[in-house]
Structure 1
Amino acid sequence: MTRTAQPKEKAAAPAPVRPGAPRPSLTVEPLTCTIGAELHGVQLADAARDDDLFARIELLLLRYKVLFLRDQDLTRAEHVAFASRFGPLEDHPVAGSDPEHPGLVRIYKDLDSAPEHYENSLHCDGTWRETPSMGAVLRCVETPPVGGDTIWVDMAEAHRRLPQHTKDRIADLRARHSIESSFGAVLPVEERRALAAKYPDAEHPVVRTHPVTGEQILFVNSFTTHFVNYHRPEHVRFGQDYAPGAADLLTYLRSQAAVPEYQVRWRWTKNSVAVWDNRSTQHYAVQDYWPAVRKMERAGIVGDRPF
């Protein structure tokens, strides 16, 4: 597939790595034809300190959209330090973050918590914000003996392979994204309304442009509730074209993330890590393991306003 030209690597003097550590020998193993690669021979704790190594990882992330690494014996401080190389970290209004490491969210599913169904939908983190997440670094602390995989989807490829008439139809559409109808749905009504007041629905383009690669990305997911500028003469002849016509189109667009050809699936092991570009992907945490225990820690990175 055709890829947009990538930016040149940053020219920066390498920062010191751990005393006595050999220079990393990074190798890349692509996992599918469109998305995902596993990195070998590198420790993210070193990349947090080494400018050149981090720059290489940053370029690989733009190319593959999600990177995977195993046997990363990171401390929480090192986890936060590496993620912070991409930009400031963000808190989560519902999950919160570790008090000693702001921006590090504990996603613990254990025997004391009932099954929850927030993660097992195809979603792009934080699109209910005006500035959704740029990306995230997720580390596995404890995993079930089987199950608990995560799936990522290349939404640039999903847009590229849409029929041309659909691309033309959605080129200038915009849509609403809501935290109230997702995380807020289980809260008592007053708490739900307070959450919505603090985080009003955000409006984003249905097709966003990646700020670095220039790729066109299909940008609707499970947080998306409706189009805001569909009801125009070029789209609507009769009311039936708008309702359910607009809803049917949104359902079709969201369904593109379920196409296997756009996906990569990762089986977690303890101390494995995923780093993803949230601007161009969606993901789905498979919840097939309860009542087994799954514990993850995620550092989310503040993003920009989609355009």
Structure 2
Amino acid sequence: MRIEQLTCAIGAELVGVRLGDAVRDDALFAEIKAALLKHKVLFLRDQQLERADHVAFARRFGELEDHPVAGSHPDHPGLVQIYKTPDHPNDRYENAWHTDATWRAAPPMGAVLHCVECPPVGGDTMWANMALAYENLPQHVKEQIADLRASHSIQASFGAVMPIEKRLALKAQYPDAEHPVVRTHPETGEKVLFVNGFTTHFVNYHTPARVRFGQDGNPGAGQLLQYLISQAYIPEYQVRWRWQPGSVAIWDNRSTQHYAVMDYPPCHRKMERAGIIGDVPY
């Protein structure tokens, strides 16, 4: 296996390897995992990955989770089908910069995404290194956010398009989760800026140390949150991947954000993702 770094900040391509082999080869899997912790997102071409091997490889990192809104493959629980087609014009919206499912109490550790079908041009995905984003924050901002916690919501994101009854039922099933604004990566020890498109507000900002007058709390807290979320937009922290059928991306969800670019209507884009259960951020 050859590892080719793609940018100075994040991302590497694995060349000369089949993920199906890593299902059965402990040494190969260990090498891939070490590369993932170092580069945060890995890419492979021409995998022709069978669904059984896709699921089996992802399970080497941990158990898989279903998604409450996106459907899973009927024969492979945990393999979420993200299919976009011109037949459903109201389903064209992709996303904002986000870390997967931070509305869970224990967000995913990572994911393995396989491209089944994609446009000839367009439909790229970008990832951002949120450990580097934290590292480069001004010191006074690091001090300001050191003890902050924030709320993450599924009802304000996936639930927003639902009738109120369904939205409230979704919220009851997945109450808003509270996470530290700066989390510690459980394997590398890195500090990671951990707010994204699912984050709605700080939960412990309004204290005498931060708020003298009303404007300090509102809009002050919202402006700080938007500033932190916007760090993912900085190109120097990013890598951009152009998909081909058979391409695969593996990413560490604990230290990255990603963005699926929606610039390809009216083409098809069919992706299958295995999300790996993670731990509670601290």
| TM-score, L = length of structure 2 | 0.99
Residue of structure 2 equivalent to 1:302:
277
Between the aligned partners of 1:161 and 1:115, the Cα distance in structure 2 is: 39
Between the aligned partners of 2:71 and 2:122, the Cα distance in structure 1 is: 26
Residue of structure 2 equivalent to 1:139:
114
Residue of structure 2 equivalent to 1:94:
69
Between the aligned partners of 2:108 and 2:74, the Cα distance in structure 1 is: 20
Taking the TM superposition and a 5 Å limit, the aligned residue runs for 1:23-42 are 26-42=1-17
1:48 to 1, 8, 23: 23
Between the aligned partners of 2:140 and 2:90, the Cα distance in structure 1 is: 41
Taking the TM superposition and a 5 Å limit, the aligned residue runs for 1:251-270 are 251-270=226-245
Between the aligned partners of 1:231 and 1:238, the Cα distance in structure 2 is: 10
2:45 to 60, 66, 70: 70
Residue of structure 1 equivalent to 2:165:
190
1:80 to 37, 43, 55: 55
Q: How many Å apart are 1:99 and its aligned residue?
A: 1.3
Higher relative contact order (CA 8 A, sep 6+): 2
Residue of structure 2 equivalent to 1:155:
130
Residue of structure 1 equivalent to 2:198:
223
Residue of structure 2 equivalent to 1:58:
33
2:102 to 111, 127, 134: 127
Taking the TM superposition and a 5 Å limit, the aligned residue runs for 1:239-254 are 239-254=214-229
Between the aligned partners of 2:230 and 2:92, the Cα distance in structure 1 is: 18
Contact 2:84–2:92 (CA<8 Å) still a contact in 1? no
Contact 1:139–1:272 (CA<8 Å) still a contact in 2? yes
Contact 1:118–1:183 (CA<8 Å) still a contact in 2? no
Contact 1:174–1:205 (CA<8 Å) still a contact in 2? yes
Q: Which amino acid aligns with 2:122?
A: G
Between the aligned partners of 1:278 and 1:75, the Cα distance in structure 2 is: 23
Contact 2:2–2:14 (CA<8 Å) still a contact in 1? yes
Q: Which amino acid aligns with 2:73?
A: D
Contact 2:66–2:78 (CA<8 Å) still a contact in 1? yes
Contact 1:115–1:290 (CA<8 Å) still a contact in 2? no
Taking the TM superposition and a 5 Å limit, the aligned residue runs for 1:288-299 are 288-299=263-274
Contact 1:150–1:286 (CA<8 Å) still a contact in 2? yes
Between the aligned partners of 1:115 and 1:48, the Cα distance in structure 2 is: 38
Q: How many Å apart are 1:118 and its aligned residue?
A: 5.5
Q: How many Å apart are 1:117 and its aligned residue?
A: 5.9
Residue of structure 1 equivalent to 2:251:
276
Contact 1:142–1:296 (CA<8 Å) still a contact in 2? yes
Q: How many Å apart are 1:290 and its aligned residue?
A: 1.0
Residue of structure 2 equivalent to 1:166:
141
Residue of structure 2 equivalent to 1:202:
177
| TM-score, L = length of structure 1 | 0.91
Contact 1:208–1:216 (CA<8 Å) still a contact in 2? yes
Between the aligned partners of 1:118 and 1:112, the Cα distance in structure 2 is: 14
SS at match of 1:175: strand
SS at match of 1:169: helix
Q: Which amino acid aligns with 1:295?
A: K
The C-alpha deviation readout for 1:226-282, integer Å capped at 9, x for no partner, is 000000111011011000000000000000000000000000001000000000000
The total of aligned residue pairs comes to 282
Residue of structure 2 equivalent to 1:103:
78
Query: What percent identity do the matched residue pairs reach?
Result: 70
Residue of structure 2 equivalent to 1:178:
153
Q: How many Å apart are 1:115 and its aligned residue?
A: 4.6
SS at match of 1:102: strand
The C-alpha deviation readout for 1:213-235, integer Å capped at 9, x for no partner, is 00000000000000000001110
Q: How many Å apart are 1:119 and its aligned residue?
A: 3.3
Between the aligned partners of 2:93 and 2:212, the Cα distance in structure 1 is: 37
The C-alpha deviation readout for 1:9-48, integer Å capped at 9, x for no partner, is xxxxxxxxxxxxxxxxx00100000100000010000001
